[in-house]
């Protein structure tokens, strides 16, 4: 049986932290933003860079204790991160460089975000060791989630599965920042701990997924 057969299709159905209806609602919200970007003659690469700059600003605000404002700007930056891909499709498809730039700046944005959160932990708590370590694990796990997918695609397989891809991670962290800004400080620690755990679980899911796909591919090659 080939890797594109029924079993492989089932393997691609990974559970996700966010329900499908919420993702669909988000795409509906983005439609007018994409139309505005087209009207302003913005390119997807420009949107990508603006999104990173907003993340940088928001992370600096979070590090300085301006949590609610930081969460609001992070939300705007995250929406722009989704807009660049939609804009590329609306303009007839993206470029190889655009895809590279988007992926690279996504990783940079995540690193900047977790650094901002860790910086806030250092100033907000008398004993920040465990929250900061959780942020480090969340950052490392996030990078491993992205790397596992990229490496799978490098060998011709798909690994777009798992509980916590990038959108889910951002939603959890932004929600934690917003709740901490409202005075519920443990929410941000909890969000970071959950992200750390989910990223580890997602990497394990992707390793298992790619192993199964590789077994089907090997079986198919033997049969041929």
- CA–CA distance, 210 with 218 (Å, rounded to integer): 12
89 falls within a domain: yes
| Mean pLDDT over each residue of the chain, to the nearest integer | 84
214 falls within a domain: yes
- Quick one: pLDDT band at residue 128, thresholds 50, 70, 90? very high
Into how many domains does the chain fold? 1
Residue 101: give the domain boundaries.
Answer: 13-223
- Quick one: pLDDT band at residue 197, thresholds 50, 70, 90? very high
**CATH code of 202's domain:** 1.20.120.1760
Confidence (pLDDT) at 188: 96
24 falls within a domain: yes
Tens of pLDDT, residues 18-61: 556 555 555 666 777 777 777 777 788 888 899 999 999 999 99
Going by C-beta distance under 8 Å and a sequence separation of 6 or more, which residues neighbour residue 218?
none
What percent of the chain clears pLDDT 70, i.e. is strictly above it? 83
6 falls within a domain: no
Tens of pLDDT, residues 57-94: 999 999 999 999 999 999 988 888 778 777 877 777 77
5 falls within a domain: no
190 falls within a domain: yes
7 falls within a domain: no
Q: Are 59 and 139 in contact (CB under 8 A)?
A: no
* Mean pLDDT, residues 217-221 taken together: 58
8 falls within a domain: no
- Whether residue 219 is predicted with pLDDT greater than 70 in this model: the reply is no
- Whether residue 100 is predicted with pLDDT greater than 80 in this model: the reply is yes
Catalytically active residues, by annotation: 106
What is the pTM for the complete model shown? 0.82
To 5 degrees, how large is the angle CA 180–CA 55–CA 48?
A: 145
Going by C-beta distance under 8 Å and a sequence separation of 6 or more, which residues neighbour residue 113?
55, 58, 59, 62, 74, 170, 173
């Amino acid at each position: 049986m080939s890797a594109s057969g029924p079993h492989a299709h089932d393997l691609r159905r990974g559970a996700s932290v966010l329900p499908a209806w919420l993702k669909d609602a988000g795409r509906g919200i983005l439609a007018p933003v994409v139309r505005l970007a087209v009207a302003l003659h913005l390119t997807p690469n420009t949107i990508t860079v603006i999104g990173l700059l907003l993340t940088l600003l928001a992370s600096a605000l979070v590090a300085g204790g301006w949590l609610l404002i930081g969460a609001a700007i992070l939300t705007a930056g995250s929406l722009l991160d989704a807009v660049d891909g939609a804009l590329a499709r609306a303009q007839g498809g993206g470029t190889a460089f655009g895809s590279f730039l988007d992926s690279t700046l996504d990783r940079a944005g995540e690193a900047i975000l977790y650094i901002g959160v860790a910086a806030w932990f250092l100033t907000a708590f008398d004993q920040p060791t465990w929250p900061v370590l959780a942020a480090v694990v969340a950052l490392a796990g996030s990078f491993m989630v992205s790397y596992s997918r990229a490496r799978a695609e490098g060998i011709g397989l798909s690994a777009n599965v798992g509980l916590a891809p990038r959108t889910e991670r951002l939603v959890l962290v932004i929600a934690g920042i917003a709740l901490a800004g409202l005075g519920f400080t443990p929410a941000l620690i909890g969000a970071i701990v959950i992200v750390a755990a989910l990223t580890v679980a997602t990497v394990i899911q992707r390793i298992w997924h790619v192993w199964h796909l590789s077994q089907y591919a090997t079986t198919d090659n033997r049969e041929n």
